[in-house]
C-alpha cells in the first residue's frame, strides 16, 4: 500500500480534501484517539466501502476526560498506528497538536440533550459527551468529510454524535459499525491493555452476562428480575458496576418490557482502575 499522509494542521487536511472533492471523490473520516486495534481498522475498511478516500484522525481529546481520568496515561502509539493505517491503505492521518484543536481563548462547548442525558455514561462522566461532541463537531467541519464511521462499541456516543450531526445540519453522514471482539467475546478497546492477567481473564464475563440476559429478554422473562440478576452476577464476579441496563435502542430511554423495544443492553463496569463499557442488541 502507498504511504499514508500525515496532516498536523486543518489547512493541510482541507487542501487535500478540496482536491479530492474537486475530482468528484468522496471522503470519509474515522475519528479515533489512537492506540489502534482491529476494531479501529474495521472502521477504516468500512469507510473504504463508502468513500474513495479515508482520513483517520488521531487525537487524545483532553476535553472529554475528567481531571481524575486517564488522559495523561492514555496509550499513545503513533508509529504503530501509522504502520497499521498504511497497511490497510488509509489515505491520511489527521494528527493535530492540542493547540491546533484548542488554541488559546477557545471557549465553546456543545450543549447536548436527548441521548446524552439519559443517566448512562453521562451520569458517571458528566462532562464527557460535551467534550466528545465538541471535538467531533470540529473534526467534521475541519475535514469537510462526506461521512464518518463510528463503532457501536461506544453506543451512547454513536447516538449522541448521530443526533448532533442531524440537529446541527453538519452535512455529514454517520455510519455505524458493529463491535469487534476478541475470540472470548471481550470488546476490543485501547484500554484493555491496562488489565492485569487476572482482570483480563475475568473481563469477558461482561459479554457472557449480556448475551444470557438478551436471551432471557427475548424469551419474555420478567425484565426487572432478569436485569437485576445479571447485575448481581457481575458484582459477585468482582466488578464495580456503574450500570447494566436495558434501554430503548434509539432513544436510550428506560424500558419496562420487550414491547417497548427495540432494546439495547448497555453495561459499564470497572475492574481495578480500568473502566470497561459494552452493549448488545436484544
Ligand atoms: P477510541 O479511539 O476508542 O476513542 O474509538 C474510536 C472509534 O473506534 C469509535 O468510533 C469507537 O466506537 C470505535 N471502536 C472502538 N473500539 C471498537 C471495537 N471494538 N469495535 C468497533 N469499533 C470500535
Residues 201-215: tens digit of each pLDDT: 999 999 999 999 999
Give the mean model confidence (pLDDT) for residues 159-165: 98
Q: Among the residues of 23-124, which ranges form H helices? A: 38-50, 78-88, 98-101, 121-124
CA dihedral 178→146→88→9, nearest 10 degrees, is -120
Residues of the chain with CATH 3.40.50.620: 5-177
Q: Grid coordinates representing 232?
A: 448481581
- Residue from 30, 31, 32 to probe ligand 1 pocket by mutation (most atoms less than 8 Å from CB): 32
The predicted pLDDT at position 258 comes to: 87
pLDDT digits (tens, 9 = 90+) for 242-258: 999 999 999 999 998 88
Sheet hosting strand 274-281, strand order edge to edge: 240-248, 263-271, 274-281
Whole-number Å distance, alpha carbon 221 to ligand 1 midpoint, is 32
Which CATH fold topology does 190-276 show? 3.30.1300
pLDDT digits (tens, 9 = 90+) for 115-138: 999 999 999 999 999 999 999 999
Check if the beta carbon of residue 53 is closer than 8 Å to that of residue 94: no
Which CATH fold topology does 5-177 show? Rossmann fold (3.40.50)
Residue 147 has pLDDT above 70, yes or no: yes
Burial of 85 (0-12, 13-18, 19+ CB in 10 A): buried
The predicted pLDDT at position 1 comes to: 59
Statement: the pTM of the whole predicted model exceeds 0.95? yes
- The secondary element (H helix, E strand) that includes residue 209 is helix 205-218
Residue 281 has pLDDT above 70, yes or no: yes
Active site residue: 21, 40, 68, 248, which one? 40
Across the chain, mean pLDDT equals 97
The predicted pLDDT at position 257 comes to: 87
The percentage of the chain sitting over the pLDDT mark of 70, rounded to a whole number, equals: 99
The percentage of the chain sitting over the pLDDT mark of 90, rounded to a whole number, equals: 97
Residues of the chain with CATH 3.30.1300.10: 190-276
Is ligand 1 within 6 A of the CB of residue 39?
yes
| Ligand 1 atom showing the smallest separation from residue 189 Cα | 16
Phi first, then psi, for residue 268 (nearest 5°) are -140, 130
Give the mean model confidence (pLDDT) for residues 26-47: 98
Pairing of strands 274-281, 263-271: antiparallel
The predicted pLDDT at position 261 comes to: 81
Is ligand 1 within 6 A of the CB of residue 131?
no
Amino acid at each position: 500500500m502507498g504511504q499514508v499522509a500525515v496532516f498536523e494542521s486543518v489547512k493541510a487536511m482541507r487542501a487535500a480534501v478540496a482536491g479530492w472533492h474537486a475530482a468528484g471523490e468522496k471522503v470519509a473520516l474515522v475519528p479515533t484517539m489512537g492506540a489502534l486495534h482491529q476494531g479501529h481498522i474495521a472502521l477504516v475498511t468500512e469507510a473504504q466501502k463508502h468513500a474513495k478516500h479515508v482520513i483517520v484522525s488521531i487525537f487524545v481529546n483532553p476535553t472529554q476526560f475528567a481531571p481524575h481520568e486517564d488522559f495523561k496515561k492514555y496509550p499513545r502509539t503513533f508509529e504503530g498506528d501509522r504502520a497499521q493505517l498504511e497497511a490497510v491503505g488509509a489515505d491520511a492521518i489527521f494528527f493535530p497538536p492540542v493547540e491546533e484543536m484548542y488554541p488559546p481563548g477557545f471557549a465553546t462547548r456543545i450543549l447536548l440533550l436527548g441521548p446524552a442525558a439519559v443517566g448512562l455514561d453521562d451520569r458517571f462522566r458528566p462532562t464527557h459527551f460535551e467534550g466528545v461532541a465538541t471535538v467531533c463537531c470540529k473534526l467534521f467541519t475541519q475535514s469537510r468529510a462526506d461521512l464518518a464511521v463510528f463503532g457501536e462499541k461506544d453506543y451512547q456516543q454513536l447516538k449522541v454524535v448521530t443526533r448532533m450531526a442531524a440537529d446541527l445540519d453538519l452535512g455529514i453522514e454517520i455510519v455505524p459499525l458493529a463491535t469487534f471482539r476478541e475470540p472470548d467475546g471481550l470488546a476490543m478497546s485501547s484500554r484493555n491493555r491496562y488489565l492485569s492477567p487476572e482482570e483480563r481473564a475475568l473481563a469477558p464475563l461482561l459479554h457472557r452476562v449480556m448475551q444470557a440476559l438478551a436471551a432471557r429478554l427475548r424469551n419474555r422473562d420478567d425484565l426487572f428480575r432478569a436485569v437485576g440478576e445479571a447485575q448481581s452476577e457481575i458484582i459477585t464476579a468482582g466488578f464495580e458496576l456503574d450500570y447494566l441496563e436495558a434501554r430503548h435502542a434509539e432513544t436510550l430511554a428506560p424500558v419496562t418490557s420487550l414491547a417497548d423495544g427495540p432494546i439495547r443492553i448497555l453495561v459499564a463496569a470497572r475492574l481495578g482502575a480500568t473502566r470497561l463499557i459494552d452493549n448488545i442488541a436484544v
